[in-house]
Structure 1
Amino acid sequence: MDVQITNRQSVIQIVKAASSDIIGTLGGDTFSFALGLMLLHTTHSAISFGLGSIIYPLVGLLLVMPVGNLVDCRRHKPLLLTSRGVALLAFVGYALLANRVNNVMALAVVVLTILACADKVTSTTYTASIHELVNDEHIKTLATIEQAATAGIQLISPVLAAALYGWIGFEGIVAVEIVAESLTWLIALSMHFHPLKVTDEDAADTDKTQWEQFKVGLVFIRRHFTLFTIVTIGIFLNFLFSSIDVGLPYAIVQTRHLGNARLSWILSAFAGGVLVGNLVLSVLPRFKNVLVAVLRLAMLLGVLIGVIGGLFLVPISSFILVASLIGISFIIGGVLAFVNTPMSVYMQMTVPTKLLGRVGSTFSTLLQLALPLGTAFYGFAFQKVSAGPIYLVTGIVIVLYIGGNYLAIHRHASAEQNTPD
C-alpha cells in the first residue's frame, strides 16, 4: 500500500523544491550568460550564445527513449542525486581544465553536453517523482510556485550575470556555480521521497526492449485525446513563439534602432507577466476543463501576436510602440502562465506515475526541439520580410489552428455521447 503524504510534509517538500529550483536556475542561467560572454570575447564567434540552444535539444532527442525508460524503472531519489552529482563534477572539472585547454570552444561543447545529459535525467526524474513528494492537493501549488520562481529569476539573471562577470570574472562565476550545484545536491539529499508500490506488471516492463518500454508511453499519449491534443498544441505554440525570441530583438534593435535598453524592458515584461500570472493562478481553483481553457487562452495568444503585427504596420511613435509592446508582452506572459501550468498539472493528474518518465521525457523533448526549428524558420523569415506581416500572419495561423482544434473537441465530445455503453 502506498504511503499517504500529509499536507505538512507536502509544504516542506514544496519549500525545498522551490529553493532548489531558485538556486539551480539562477546559477545555471548566470553561468550560461557568462559562458556566452567569455566565448564571445575569446573566439569572437557569433555562435557563442547559441551553443546551449543547439546542444540541449540534440541531447534531449538522443536520450528521450533511454532516459524515459530509466526513470520509470529505477528509484527516483538515487537517480536525482546521481544526475545532480554528475553536473557538479562537470563544473569542478571545467574549473580545473579551463586554464589548461587551448581550445575553449571544444571544452565548452564537452561540458555543455555532459550538463545537458545530466539535466535531462534530472528534469525527467523530477517530473516523474512529483507524486512521491507531495499529495494531489499540492501538485498545483508546487507547479505554480516553481513557474513563478523561474519567471522571477529570468527577470534578474541577465543583470546579475553581467554584474558578476564584471566583478569576479568568469572563473569566479564558475566557482559560484559549483557552490550552487553543491547546495542543490544537498537539498535533494534532504528531500523525503515516498516511493510508490511496484506491481508485478511494472517489474515485467524491465524485461522488455528499450523500444517496447518506450512505446507504452507513446501509445498512452496517442490513445488519450485530451493529452494528445495538449501535446500537439504545446509543440505548435513553442514553434510559433520562436517569432518572439527571434523577431523582437531584430525588429526593435536592427530595424527600428530603438536600442538594447528598450528591448530589455519589453522582454522583461514577458517574465513579469509569467510571474504575476502564476501568483494569481496559485490562489485560483483548478480548471474544470483544462483543454477548453487552454484552447481559449491559446486563441487569445494568437490575437495578441496579431496585434503586435498591427503595431509594426501602423505609423506610430517609438514611445507608443515600446509602451504598447511592454503592455502586450506583460499580458502574453500572464496568459502563458495560465496555459503552461494547467497543462503541467493535467499531465501529473492524468498520466499514471509508472509512465510519467516516458511521457514527460517525450513531451519535454518535443517542446525543446520545436524551439530551434522555429528559430531557424523565423530567423530566415525576419531577414526577408518585415516584422508586421510576419506577426500578423503568425497570429492568424494560431487562431485558425486553435479554432480547428476547438471544433475537433466538440466533434469528439459529441461522438463520445452518441457512443452506446
Structure 2
Amino acid sequence: MTTSISNRQSVIQIVKAASSDIIGTLGGDIFSFAVGLMLLHRTHSAISFGLGSIIYPVVGLLLVMPVGNLVDRRRHKPLILVSKLTVIMALLLYSWGVARVNAPMLLAIALLVVIAGCDKVTNTTFTAAVHELVNDNHVKMLATIEQAATAGIQLVAPVLAALLYGWIGFAGIVRVVIVTEVLTWLIALSMRFHPLTDTDDGGTAKSQWAQFQVGLRYIREHFTLLSVVLMGIFLNFLLASIDVGLPYAIVQERHLGSTRLSWVLSAFSGGVLLGNLVLSVLPKFKNVHLTILRLSLVIGSLIAVVGLTFMAPLTATVLVVGLIGIALVIGLVLAFVNTPMSVYMQMTVPTRLLGRVGSTFATLMQLALPLGTVVYGMLFQHIAAGPVYLVTGLVIVGYIALNLRTAQRHYRDNPDA
C-alpha cells in the first residue's frame, strides 16, 4: 500500500470528517431519542425505547457479508454518497407519508430499517477508507478527534432532543434531520479520497461467502481480535441493560421525567468526550487487549454501583446526581476501550481486508444487543432496577476476570504476540 497524503491534507480531511460527525451525530441522536420517547409514551413498554437497539444490529447482521464484500471491491467515495443520498430520500418520503398514511409507528420502524442499512454501508466504508483520507501519522488523531466530536454532540443531543420534541414534535424533528443529512452529504462530496496502489482483493474467490471468509479467517487467526469480539458479544448483551433499563427506571419506575433522563444520558457522552481528549495526548498502549480487559473490570464494577444506587433510599435529586457522576466515569472508561481498539484495527489489518474485517467486527460486537434488549426489557418490567444492575455488574466482573487470566497466560507464553 502506498499513498502520498501530506500532513496538511490529512489535517484538512480530519476537520471535514469531524464536521460531518458533529452534524450527522446531532441529527441522528436527536432522531433516535425522539423515536424512543414517542414509542415509550405510546406503548409504556421498556422495550420500546430500545427498538433502535434491536433494528440496527439485526440489519447489520443481515448485511455483514454483502456490505463487507462490496466495500472491499468498490470505490469508497461513491458508496458513501449513494448511501447518504438514500437516507435523505427515505426521510423525505417519510415526511410526505406520515401525514397521509394512518400507520405512523410502522412508518417509523421502516425508516429505522432503511437508515440502519445505509449507516452500515457508510460506517464500514469510512472504516475501510481511513488510509485514503489521512497518512499513518494522523490515524490516531482522526480516531480520537472523531470520537471526541461525536461525544461532544452526544453530550447535548439528549437535552436538545427533549426540548425539540416538546416544541416542534416528532414531524418537525424529521425535517431538522433532513437538513443535517444534506449537509453531511455535501461535506462527503468535498472530501478527497486518495487512491491506494494495494488492490489485491485477498484471493480469487468469486462467491459472496468465499470472499467473506477471507476477513472471517483473519479474525479467527489473530488472538487479540478474536478475544475482543467474543468478549464484546457477551458484554454487549449485558450492557443492553443501560440502553433499556435507564430510560425505563428513570421515566417509568421513578417518574423523574424525560429531562432528567437526558441529563444522565448526556453524562455518558461527557465522559467519552473527556476520555478522548485525554487520549489525544497520551502515547499508544503497549498491550491493547490487556488494557481493554482491565478497564472492562472497572465498567462492570461501576454498573454494580448503579444497582446499589437504585437500591439505596436516596431522594430524587441525590439519585440523579449520583447516576450522572457514575455515567460520566463509565463514559470516560469506554473512551479508553473503544478508541484504542479502533486504532489498533486500522494499523494492523491489511487495507484490502478492512471492509470485510471491519464489517464483521462491528456486526459481531453488536450481535447480542437485540437479545439483550428483549431480555432486559422483560426483566425491568418485572424486577426493580437495583437488583438487575447489581447482578449484571457482578457477572461482568467475574467474566472479565476469567478472560484476563487467559490473556495474561497467552501473552506470557507468546511474548511477541
Unaligned runs of 5+ in 1: none
Does the 8 A contact of 1:266 with 1:322 survive in 2? Answer: yes
Q: Separation in 2 of the partners of 1:8 and 1:146?
A: 17
Task: Deviation per CA, 1:42-63: give whole Å up to 9, x if none.
Answer: x768576554333222211111
Name the residue aligned to 1:105. Answer: 105
5 Å-filtered alignment, 1:218-257, equals 218-257=216-255
Secondary structure at the aligned position of 2:281 is classed as coil
Q: Separation in 1 of the partners of 2:374 and 2:361?
A: 21
Cα 1:141–1:417 change in 2 (3 A) is closer
Task: Deviation per CA, 1:85-115: give whole Å up to 9, x if none.
Answer: 2112222222333333233333333333222
Aligned residue type for 1:339: V
Does the 8 A contact of 1:297 with 1:335 survive in 2? Answer: yes
Cα 1:263–1:77 change in 2 (3 A) is closer
User: What is the RMSD of the two structures over their aligned residues, measured on CA atoms?
Assistant: 2.6
Cα 1:270–1:62 change in 2 (3 A) is same
Does the 8 A contact of 2:162 with 2:259 survive in 1? Answer: no
Residue 54 in 1 paired to residue 39 in 2? no
How many residue pairs were aligned? 416
Shift of 1:210: 0.6
Residue 147 in 1 paired to residue 147 in 2? yes
Cα 1:375–1:40 change in 2 (3 A) is closer
Q: Separation in 1 of the partners of 2:15 and 2:386?
A: 44
Does the 8 A contact of 1:57 with 1:369 survive in 2? Answer: yes
Name the residue aligned to 1:130. Answer: 130
5 Å-filtered alignment, 1:194-343, equals 194-199=194-199, 201-202=200-201, 204-205=203-204, 207-343=205-341
Aligned counterpart for 2:354 among listed residues 337, 353, 356: 356
Percentage identity across aligned positions? 68
Q: Separation in 2 of the partners of 1:81 and 1:418?
A: 42
Q: Separation in 1 of the partners of 2:250 and 2:35?
A: 25
Does the 8 A contact of 2:158 with 2:262 survive in 1? Answer: no
Q: Separation in 2 of the partners of 1:355 and 1:195?
A: 15
Secondary structure at the aligned position of 2:192 is classed as coil
Name the residue aligned to 2:190. Answer: 190
Does the 8 A contact of 2:159 with 2:259 survive in 1? Answer: no
Q: Separation in 1 of the partners of 2:398 and 2:39?
A: 42
Cα 1:418–1:135 change in 2 (3 A) is closer
Residue 73 in 1 paired to residue 58 in 2? no
Deviates more, 1:100-109 or 1:293-302: 100-109
TM-score, length-normalised on structure 1? Answer: 0.90
5 Å-filtered alignment, 1:379-390, equals 379-390=377-388
5 Å-filtered alignment, 1:79-118, equals 79-118=79-118
Cα 1:233–1:99 change in 2 (3 A) is same
Q: Separation in 2 of the partners of 1:39 and 1:25?
A: 21
Aligned residue type for 2:307: G
Unaligned runs of 5+ in 2: none
Does the 8 A contact of 1:39 with 1:104 survive in 2? Answer: no
Q: Separation in 1 of the partners of 2:132 and 2:193?
A: 5
Aligned residue type for 1:354: R
Cα 1:162–1:268 change in 2 (3 A) is closer
Secondary structure at the aligned position of 1:116 is classed as helix
Secondary structure at the aligned position of 1:365 is classed as helix
Q: Separation in 2 of the partners of 1:74 and 1:385?
A: 49
